[in-house]
Structure 1
Amino acid sequence: MVIELMTQSSVGGWTAMALGAVALSLTLVFFPHDVKAETRALPGSAGEVTLSYSSVVKRVAPAVVNVYSKRVVRAQAPSPLFNDPFFQRFFGDRFSFGVPRERVQQSLGSGVIIDADGLIVTNNHVIQGGDQFKVALNDRREFEAKVVLADERTDLAVLKIDTKGEKLPFLSFKDSDSVEVGDLVLALGNPFGVGQTVTTGIVSALARTHVGVSDYQFFIQTDAAINPGNSGGALVTTDGKLIGINSAIYSQSGGSVGIGFAIPSNMVRLIVDSARNGGRVKRPWTGAQLQAVDAQLASTLGLDRPGGALVQEVFPGGPAARAGLKEGDVIRSVDNHDVEDPQAVRYRFATKGLDGKVTVRYQRDGRSFETQVALEAAPEKPAADRTLIKGHNPFTGATVANLSPAVADELDLDTFGGKGVVVLKIEDGTPAERLQFQPGDIVLQVGETKIGSVKELLGATAGTREQWDFAIRRGDRTFTATVGG
């Protein structure tokens, strides 16, 4: 930049340069000690020149694997008639008549061995929808794998391979709350399928909560290069401990731009422990509906700054209610960890697991208070009665359940439950899919029948009709529709 400024100076610029040279010479003569103070020492030994992460990589790399997911899908094969060049000239590929054919879809990701007996953690989106799974070790051996647990809400999955008694290298967890911004980290995985790759960087930020790739949005951000295929790979500290599972990147091109996100090891540990203990994730429930506190809301509440989680509603008899929390309270910290929004509160509760209590600090009417909130699961009352709807009606192919605090929490609904029937999932190629029902839709009415339970919905959809009238609630909106029988 200095050279550029010099070359673009006026005619008198050369005079200024000459004067500057004279001034520099005088400085060197009369102030030699100032110049000496700014010199830098050269490396004094070969060890100072050859600093390397190789020793860490040698310990970590054998525990990072490739994960292959495969599924067979059925697609319509074109009729041989339309393979004729004459027909293609006039009709192109607009027609796809013929018998169904099978097509194999494959996806590639990474994974981390977390115990010597072959338990592997990866991202749920790496294996989601797959029928067959294969794991390739660092030494190129391949094993068939089975899914022990797949948790869409955290975007984590646990796989198991049969090692025939052989003990495998594995990574130990490190407390992700001990990591600080600026710490050096290494990311290992298989980006773009080119083979195992190591990149390095620093922890750029902690507690990122607006990434949008899981229900529990609370991520470690790093500038270590993470690309497609790295998903499920390891983020480790320089002591070779696992602090996160690489999960997502921010990119407009599809490649790394130095903004990568990893699921913290404390959340990963919870899912792994659940896999070891029966394969079902049980999470604590606050028993309160929470809202983020922005600058405008902070001003209205008389707070000194934005941040925290405003208690909008408290479930009667739930953990928050028994702890004395009320509507209008603002939660500021959980177990001495500051929380900036509801996602941070949910993360702090979730990573504690069930049983015991957490300390919650909150503000009410300008004063600070502390209370102990019990760590317990949301109640499933009434019983879910999960049922796949069959027959000839608009809901065929939808799995539904009675609405309860447990089901509402599972679907992250802005409700505590109560009377009603909620859609849990939709089968492909069914009337429910064609009508674009979504998980979380609450069925309110079918015909003249108000729906308060799965049993009532089954009764209202039995038999056939010339037309079906129904109403559903999606979020804060209610929709009504009429379709043919």
Structure 2
Amino acid sequence: MAEPGKTPLTASVSRLGILARKPAALAVAGVLGAAVLGASIIPETASVAVAQSNTSASQTVQTPYGRAPLTFADLVEKVRPAVVSVQVKSRGRPGPDGPAFGFKDMPGIPDDLRDFFERFQQGRPGGQPPRRPQLAQGSGFIISPDGYVVTNHHVIANASEIVLTLDNGEEHEATIIGSDERTDLALLKIKTKGKTFPTVSFAKKKARVGDWVLAVGNPFGLGGTVTAGIVSAHNRDIGSGPYGYLQIDAAVNRGNSGGPAFNLDGEVVGVNTAIFSPSGGNVGIAFAVPADLTQKVVAQLKNGGTVARGWLGVTIQNVNPDIAESLGIEPKGAMVTKLSENGPAARSRIEVGDVIVRVGDEDIKDSRDLARKIADIAPNTKVKITVLREGDRKVIPVTLGKFPSGRKLAALRSGKVEPETEQLDSLGMTLAPASERGGAGEEGVVIVDIDPESAAAGKGLKAGDVILKVAGISVHNPRDVEKGLEKARKRGRGAVDMLVRSGERQRFIAIPLKKT
């Protein structure tokens, strides 16, 4: 939510990116590093002539005014090795026209002809047109000698292959350690063993408005491109979660996403992630995830691959002056407008209309401040929430939950129950009980998502199909499917038989088992 008196830049803020060498709706930002500046720095003080009222001559005095580099060349040479270009190959989406021949929607086709068409389309899972790989590019930077790399979540989302190109032209494959959509950060690991990589570090102090920043990245796939500017503002609300972003005016374009913004000491002060632009190109307004937030997220991604945030289970708004006057309170805090059913707040007897003014020992300025503070607290932590209710001040103990995934959160906000799902890597599927998915029926397990390159997809299985039996076992949830797979493995089978319903048709399919 926006701060009082401020308007979030939601409508015209875009992520930065290149898709198959064509400008996409997203825009991707990237920056290069800095190290230690030497002789190219103007001294900390400069000689300035000042007229003195009590003398006829002018005197020269030393006036400190900070550092202003004559050139960034030395800085670029020292930090360039730690900045990488990120090339991502992801699976393309099927065409909008659906099945290639449309035979699945044609009634009365004999089973032998239907089987013929399905065999004819082998290699086109689910009867869909073949998926062409999509290529995207971004930037990143190395933070450890053994090859951990920071970039943006949107750069590597849905990646099937990631290749990093160093400044010296070396190419290395990388794997995803973890990513966080809410801050748009991701952590990669270079697969190459036995090699020491150049690194850069995060700034120990927050950048000040007016500080120089240097951006080096991979705009439009051109490779190492250097731009310079200053920090224009702090704590910008771009309509993407509760976190505040750095605003910088260094030129940032598509392909720069995930690159660092450096100070003159060669330290990372932010990770470029978005631009404000009516046209999609650079207009001197770019946004970066601050270094302190980046470090917290990266540490969690390195330890567990995900970020665990506290969750209160409320929808909130700012207390504007009009509301404050009507309630007889000061215009601060966060007002509860809705409770998630059976969420932490609802269970703790927080009510709609309560104004949350304090969490623990910290005062709450507005709704964004509350969202940030709750997110920074670990799930299952018991905290004291102070609210104003009809003029009375109440302290309510609440045990925070874990912030839900995007899809589950949307379901909670709409009042719908998010069905149980489970990803089975051995099959390349995400499954859910059919009884909990509208229109899937009461029996079996429905395929929610499927890897188009999996053996199951190659056999014609697709999202929406319902698995009824696995190795002779009737299945009702994803755990039953795992039991069937284990039964087949114990019998030494190289494949597992499944009874699958596709629309009105049922058939048995044998799916090869991965060796364990």
Identify the match of residue 168 of structure 2 among 129, 132, 139.
Answer: 139
State the shift of 1:284 in Å: 1.1
More deviation, 50-59/109-118: 50-59
Give the match for residue 255 of structure 2. 229
C-alpha distance after superposition, 1:62-103 (max 9, x if no partner): 222110012354878xxxxxxxxxxxxxxxxxxxxxx95664
State the shift of 1:420 in Å: 2.9
1:147 & 1:235 partners in 2: Cα distance?
A: 22
Unmatched tracts of structure 2, length 5 or more: 1-50, 96-127, 423-432, 446-502, 505-516
C-alpha distance after superposition, 1:338-387 (max 9, x if no partner): 76543443233324445766786765566878888655526xxxxxxxxx
1:67 maps to 2:83: no
Give the match for residue 208 of structure 1. 236
1:153 & 1:39 partners in 2: Cα distance?
A: 59
State the shift of 1:262 in Å: 1.2
> Cα RMSD (Å) of the superposition?
4.6
Contact kept in structure 2, 1:111 and 1:121, CA below 8 Å: yes
Identify the match of residue 420 of structure 1 among 417, 420, 430.
Answer: 417
State the shift of 1:455 in Å: 7.6
Task: Name the CA shift for 1:248/1:355 in 2 (closer, same or farther; >3 Å).
Answer: same
1:267 maps to 2:298: no
1:48 & 1:283 partners in 2: Cα distance?
A: 39
Give the match for residue 135 of structure 2. 106
Give the match for residue 347 of structure 1. 372
Give the match for residue 117 of structure 1. 146
Give the match for residue 377 of structure 1. 402
Contact kept in structure 1, 2:234 and 2:247, CA below 8 Å: yes
Of structures 1 and 2, the one scoring higher in RCO (CA 8 A, sep 6+) is 2
C-alpha distance after superposition, 1:449-474 (max 9, x if no partner): xx9962886534889xxxxxxxxxxx
The amino acid of 1:132's aligned partner reads E
The amino acid of 2:300's aligned partner reads S
Contact kept in structure 1, 2:435 and 2:442, CA below 8 Å: no
Give the match for residue 214 of structure 2. 186
1:48 & 1:172 partners in 2: Cα distance?
A: 21
Contact kept in structure 1, 2:313 and 2:344, CA below 8 Å: yes
Task: Name the CA shift for 1:181/1:270 in 2 (closer, same or farther; >3 Å).
Answer: same
Contact kept in structure 1, 2:311 and 2:379, CA below 8 Å: no
Larger Rg: 1
Contact kept in structure 2, 1:174 and 1:241, CA below 8 Å: yes
Unmatched tracts of structure 1, length 5 or more: 1-31, 77-98, 379-405, 426-450, 464-483
State the shift of 1:298 in Å: 3.4
Secondary structure at 1:131 match in 2: strand
Give the match for residue 314 of structure 2. 288
Contact kept in structure 1, 2:435 and 2:441, CA below 8 Å: no
Task: Name the CA shift for 1:134/1:419 in 2 (closer, same or farther; >3 Å).
Answer: closer
Secondary structure at 1:111 match in 2: strand
Normalising by the residue count of structure 2, what TM-score does the alignment of the two structures yield?
Answer: 0.55
State the shift of 1:250 in Å: 0.3
State the shift of 1:131 in Å: 1.9
Secondary structure at 1:413 match in 2: helix
1:265 & 1:335 partners in 2: Cα distance?
A: 26
State the shift of 1:249 in Å: 0.3
Task: Name the CA shift for 1:373/1:461 in 2 (closer, same or farther; >3 Å).
Answer: closer
Identify the match of residue 441 of structure 2 among 427, 447, 459.
Answer: 459
Q: Identity over the aligned pairs, expressed in percent?
A: 39
The amino acid of 1:454's aligned partner reads E
Task: Name the CA shift for 1:152/1:197 in 2 (closer, same or farther; >3 Å).
Answer: same
2:211 & 2:269 partners in 1: Cα distance?
A: 11
State the shift of 1:134 in Å: 0.5
State the shift of 1:144 in Å: 1.0
